Amino acid sequence: MSARHFSRTYGEARQRFLEAAHKAAAAIESHVHPLKGAEGEEIATDTAWVGPADAKNLLIVSSGAHGPEGFSGSACQLALLGDELLGRATQRDVAVLLIHAVNPFGFSHLKRTNEDNIDLNRNFNDFSKPYPDNPVYEEIHGLLVPETWPPSAENETQLAAAMTRLAGQRNPGVSSGQARHPDGLFYSGTAPAWSNRTIRSIVRRHGAGRRHIAWLDVHTGLGPYGHGEKIFGSNPPQTLQRALSWWGCDLIASTQAESVSPRTVGHITYCAFEECPTAALTPMTLEYGTLPSPQVRRALRGEAWLAGHPDAAPSVAAAIRQSVRDAFYVDADDWKGMILGQFRALALQTINGLAATQEQGNAP
């Protein structure tokens, strides 16, 4: 049953999202991207607003910040659009804003990064200041993005040794983000990307005047198969307490050592702090595990190599794209059931949390 919410392509996911939003009587907006999708189709970040326009509380659910991770986020959004939870939210003065395909180019073209090889979850930083140096990434860049694809045996051996040597390095870690290698992994870019500007304008307009905003940003690719790690990276202690009381003691503050995700700079959800400064905010990055990390890493290396070799043989390019899709989207019914089951519980907890803080009058 769960599998029916998952689509095979970006184009199919978009069409189904728009149809379901229409059926749910949502207010829909489309922000069309300047480039085309892999099949020549129009690509866009679409939004659906369900609930009163003047709702005091807002739940945002966003998908596809990292391209094909959007298969899961889109399925979560589609399931929610058909769920009676929406009615319960509306009755308690909680509106829901679904942001479909933060990175529509990557979703359609099956790449985690955007049209400029930017990792959008490293792009929402303050570009008036230099991006933090990442000496750990610096040490390994030349091995991560090889000269040839597939990588040579020598490259694989050297990379494995370097990864073992750097395994304890977390802050920064290899994936914390870097601004020096536009052809590399986890690249921040040097200015706000199209998706950054688009998301900020959406959040600024729809978040204006709200009392409390919660944000679930759905990702995949890290952690145990099908498990949704609830990552919280916010600073004020009272916000962490609130998040713990809503989402439970398995919430992971991203600064803690046990998180599957290292501390990063330029997180998407943090833009709400800047765009909606008067609202109380409770953001979460929801990270579902897929395949073992060496397979995920290999797919990302292939993606980076391909970005630097647009003349690659079509069969090589197609194989890399497929490996990226497989690394971030497990096409298996048990996995899909885990994704949607955990998401529904989180959506309910978040709606209850937003409504309760209003009813008790104790936010922010």
Phi, psi of 243 (to 5 degrees): -60, -40
Contact between 332 and 221 (Cβ < 8 Å):
no
Give the residues across from 306 on adjacent strands. none
Using the minimum distance from each CB to Zn ion, give the nearer residue, 149 or 329.
Answer: 329
In 3D space, the residue among 104, 95, 101, 19 whose CA is nearest the CA of residue 59 turns out to be 95
Q: Residue type at 226?
A: G
- Which of 219, 242, 297, 301 binds Zn ion (CB under 5 A)? It is 219
Under rule CB under 5 A, residue 66 binds Zn ion: yes
134 vs 280: CA distance, rounded Å:
32
CB of 111 to Zn ion, least distance (A): 12
Residue 57 vs 259, nearer CB to Zn ion: 259
Q: Is 92 in the site for Zn ion (CB under 5 A)?
A: no
Please check whether residue 219 is in contact with residue 285, taking contact to mean a CB–CB distance below 8 angstroms. Answer: yes
Using CB positions, name the residue nearest to Zn ion. 219
Strands 228-232 and 280-289 turn out to be antiparallel
Q: How far is the CB of 327 from Zn ion (least distance, A)?
A: 11
Instruction: Estimate to the nearest angstrom the gap between the alpha carbon of 333 and the chain centroid.
Output: 22
Closest CB to Zn ion among residues 238, 295:
295
Q: Establish if 122 lies at the interface with Zn ion (CB under 5 A).
A: no
Span near Zn ion by CB under 5 A; candidates 23-31, 69-77, 88-96, 261-269 = 69-77
Residue 120 CA to residue 142 CA, distance in Å, equals 22
Among the listed ranges 168-176, 192-200, 211-219, 275-283, the one in contact with Zn ion (CB under 5 A) is 211-219
Only segment of 28-36, 219-227, 228-236, 336-344 that touches Zn ion (CB under 5 A): 219-227
For binding to Zn ion (CB under 5 A), which residues are involved?
A: 66, 69, 219
